Chains A and B, each alone.
Chain A
Amino acid sequence: MSGYKENAQRDSCFRAGSTLCPGCMESMALQNIGRVTDNGVKTCFTIGTSCAEVSTLLFPNVVAWGRGDSSPDDFGKSFSIIHNVFESAPTCAEAIRDVADTLTDCGALKRPIQVFSVSGDGGAIAIGLRAMLHTINRRARVTIVVLVNEVFANTGFQYSPAATPFSDTSTTPAVGEVPGNLSPPIDYLHMTIAAGADLVAQISTAHGALFQKTVERSLEVKGTAVIFVPAPCISGWKFEDGRTMELALNGARAGVYPTFVWKRGEGGKVVDCKREAKDRPGIEEFLAAQRRFVHIVERDRKTGEIRVKPGREPYVEAFRTWVQDNVERLYQLAEIKK
């Protein structure tokens, strides 16, 4: 394992030039993952159609990928990336892994490669759930990164199966008496463990050192590693620029998307999020920071006080119950060893 500072000085394969919103969690995650991969091993990325893809590869903008200003002389520092349709990134990563392994078997490839798959939650959990679970089930030796912003961001912030209850999205609008999204998010952490992943994590760069360590650990497992990155979306969640990390941390600590790291054979742990509600920060701060919940809570601009909107108390209570269930579920999940 490399040190946090040491890693920060490496060449990331995620470069300047993306059109992601300034301060986007996705760019921070990719920047950090990109640095971890600067480890002397040739790196291949696959990326499904997603916010991260259209903002880094799409014509007529520049390709925001690559290590260094030009291709390195050292093959072990080189980088390649392929984009294919939404659901395809895990399958494509598996294909690259298989080709490399088969070439190695033949004695035709002497140097190792490392393979990362990058998708959004729309691509991995909605359109591509089948593809992702089967790649995991086949124990492909790849790291699957899912950037979870809870919406189909690049088509205009529509509902995704990872959407938080009561969130206002383009297709679950909070209109009249309807309080936004009424479906609980799909349990992707449990699903990926059940499918056979060797390492499953839910972590953002708000827990920077652990994030880096988790990405490094993902490269050491024999099967598939899956890292879900809660990715507060400035435009989709509708919060002020510059508050991404704060929101990522608040959401994790409040229990909306607790930081969670699990390894097959060892079990897991919930990090920085207490099991009992009374020991965690309340959810109000998390809700009030985003306008996607403005139909439920509001902040007084003068006093800063957070108030539940009249008549919306049952929704806040239901949200509180869902969060507690969510935290409890992860604590129980952490106890699974195999």
Chain B
Amino acid sequence: MSTEINASAPRVTTPSGDWYPEAIDLAAVKAAHIPLYTQRTEITSDGNQAAAVAGLQMWRCLIYAGFPITPSTKWAEFSAATVNGQKGTKKRVKLMEAEHAVADYMAAASAACRDLVFTTATSSVGLDHMYETIKSMGASGLGNAMLINVYRCSANYPLCIEGDPSDTLGQRDCGWIQISCRGKQQIYDTVLQMPCIGMHHDVLTPSMPGFYGIKDSHRNARLVCEPDAAIHEFQDRWIKPCPLPGLINGDTAMGNCVTSRWFQGFKVSQKRRFEKVLDVLPQVGSDFERTFGRPGVSYFELAGWPESGGADLAVVSMGPDFGTFEELREEYAKKHGLKVAGMCIRLLSPFPREAVREQLRHARAVLVVNQAHHHTRGHLTLDVADALCNLSSPPPVISTFCGMGGADVSEATWEAMLDSGRRALEGHTPPPYQIFHEGAVL
């Protein structure tokens, strides 16, 4: 999509209808923003608060729609307490009657003004309730919608309020950019960056940053909050006026049944824009790191990779339990005389297939750790196996499950899974998958 736009013309014709650039004065919205922080400030925060603070600091975020569901409820509570306590603010919190209504609200609000950011938080069955509209929004071009998904088991019988990523992984095909975070700082930083990617003119796709319920949503850590002005400067470098009409500043028709003569072309375009995330995300991440001195968004994080690139055993996982692996990796490697390295996946959708393949190309075996129910070998396993399939002699992929329902993944469990990988290196053929808990194979 061309980024050449004429924001000074009274009416601009676009392929999606006409646009009245002067109808909404975004400078007035920015001027109305009351900053939360005027200088870099360190606070104590849990994951929900970290995500909420980031949204509250954006001048483009005016309305926070929400509905309570464990473990994401505090996002709405904190947003409401802050907005209500901020004298003179134009921001508002919108409490809906159900998650489905939140999704509908987000869809129309994002369509009403495509230059504002509309954000909410939900979890588990809340995300399931939203699915009907979420899936429509995936193709909508509304990159200004951001849904914070606090991971919780959604293959939910029996009930479990602890966090495993089965909710977000069950929505891999919804068309949203899904990125996993671990740690409060990463949550905060990621929420600040995602609108820059989603609203990029080449992408125009809604985003779904997520983090593990309870493990990250409810545990406190120190959090560095950047001054609002610095955040605005960073985001304004990336977010340009949307080149397409919104409902308020446009003469247009949109929605999931609206006529298109080029349905196939539309879907191809959706996929192309989705793939553009792979180009834009590293650029935004690099700029974030240059600006704020902390790592920006990336496809994945790496731990313990030898300079030669080849590891004996490469571990692929996601989420905060990867930290336990990082703690024991070196000692385990030394004990067994192996080069053990790890890859913590962040970008779930679109899956960074090429980059994963390049990183794992020289590993002798790949151990994939899944933490969500799946009908076969695991969501991550299938993605990793797909990434490796074009190699002439791909490394064997060992599939494991652990931590389901948010259970802790103990050191003993990690060691048992690594032992399974080690046995594959010794020539044993692993079963299609194994389930681990408290150091034992179940």
Contact = CB atoms under 8 A, between A and B. Distances in A.
A71 B11 contact: yes
Nearest to B26: A108
Given A83-B257, A131-B101, A71 B251 contact: yes
Given A57-B255, A59-B260, A98-B109, A130 B24 contact: no
A271 interface: no
Interface in A76-117: 78-85, 87-88, 91-96, 98-100, 102-103, 105-111, 113
Given A59-B263, A106-B90, A96 B247 contact: yes
Contacts of B132: 85
Interface in A55-76: 57-63, 65-67, 70-73, 75
B405 interface: no
A107 B25 contact: yes
Contacts of A85: 104, 132-133, 136, 256
A202 interface: no
A113 B248 contact: yes
A54 interface: yes
B42 interface: no
Given A91-B104, A92-B107, A93-B108, A107 B248 contact: no
A92 B259 contact: no
A46 interface: yes
Contacts of B318: none
B112 A96 contact: yes
Contact of A91 (B17, B26, B101): B101
A42 B113 CA distance: 14
Contacts of A88: 104, 107-108, 133
A299 interface: no
B104 A95 contact: yes
Contact of A106 (B28, B112, B258): B28
B208 to A, nearest CB: 19
Contacts of A53: 257
B94 A80 contact: no
B266 to A, nearest CB: 9
Which of the listed residues A58, A75, A91 has the most CB atoms from chain B within 10 Å of its own CB?
A: A91
A111 to B, nearest CB: 7
B343 to A, nearest CB: 38
Given A75-B20, A84-B133, A99-B248, A63 B104 contact: no
Interface residues on B, range: 35 or more
Interface in B4-34: 10-11, 13, 17-18, 20, 22-29, 31-32
Residue of A42, A81, A82, A130 ringed by the most chain B CB atoms within 10 A? A82
B280 interface: no
Contacts of A100: 112, 248
Given A84-B104, A85-B132, A102-B90, A44 B23 contact: no
Given A54-B257, A84-B255, A130-B98, A99 B250 contact: no
B interface, by DSSP: helix, strand, loop or mixed?
A: mixed
Contacts, number: 182
A71 B17 contact: yes
Nearest to A107: B28
Nearest to A79: B251
B107 A84 contact: yes
Nearest to A106: B32
Given A57-B253, A75-B20, A96 B259 contact: no
Nearest to A99: B112
Contacts of A139: none
B16 to A, nearest CB: 10
B54 interface: no
Interface string B49-86: 00000000000001101000000000000000000000
B61 to A, nearest CB: 11
B92 interface: yes
Given A84-B255, A102-B62, A107 B32 contact: yes
B223 interface: no
A92 B11 contact: no
Nearest to A72: B251
A85 B96 CA distance: 17
B251 A78 contact: yes
Given A88-B104, A92-B105, A103-B24, A71 B112 contact: no
Contacts of A75: 20, 22-23
Contacts of A110: 25
B116 interface: yes
B286 interface: no
A134 interface: yes
Contacts of A98: 63, 92, 94, 109
B243 interface: no
A42 B23 CA distance: 10
A47 B254 CA distance: 10
B97 interface: yes
Interface string A115-142: 0000000000000001100100000000
B108 A103 contact: no
A110 B100 CA distance: 32
A238 to B, nearest CB: 26
A107 B95 CA distance: 24
Contacts of B237: none
B261 interface: yes
Contacts of A131: 97, 100-101, 104
A79 B65 CA distance: 26
B111 interface: yes
5 contacts: A59-B259, A82-B247, A83-B256, A108-B29, A131-B97
- Give 9 nearest A-B pairs by CB, closest first: A83-B255, A92-B108, A71-B18, A95-B108, A71-B251, A88-B104, A108-B28, A99-B112, A95-B109
Interface of B: 10-11, 13, 17-18, 20, 22-29, 31-32, 62-63, 65, 90-92, 94, 96-98, 100-101, 104-109, 111-113, 116, 132-133, 136, 245-248, 250-261, 263
Given A73-B10, A131-B97, 19 more contacts: A59-B258, A59-B261, A60-B261, A63-B258, A75-B20, A75-B22, A75-B23, A78-B18, A80-B253, A82-B253, A84-B256, A85-B104, A91-B96, A91-B105, A96-B112, A96-B247, A99-B109, A107-B25, A108-B25
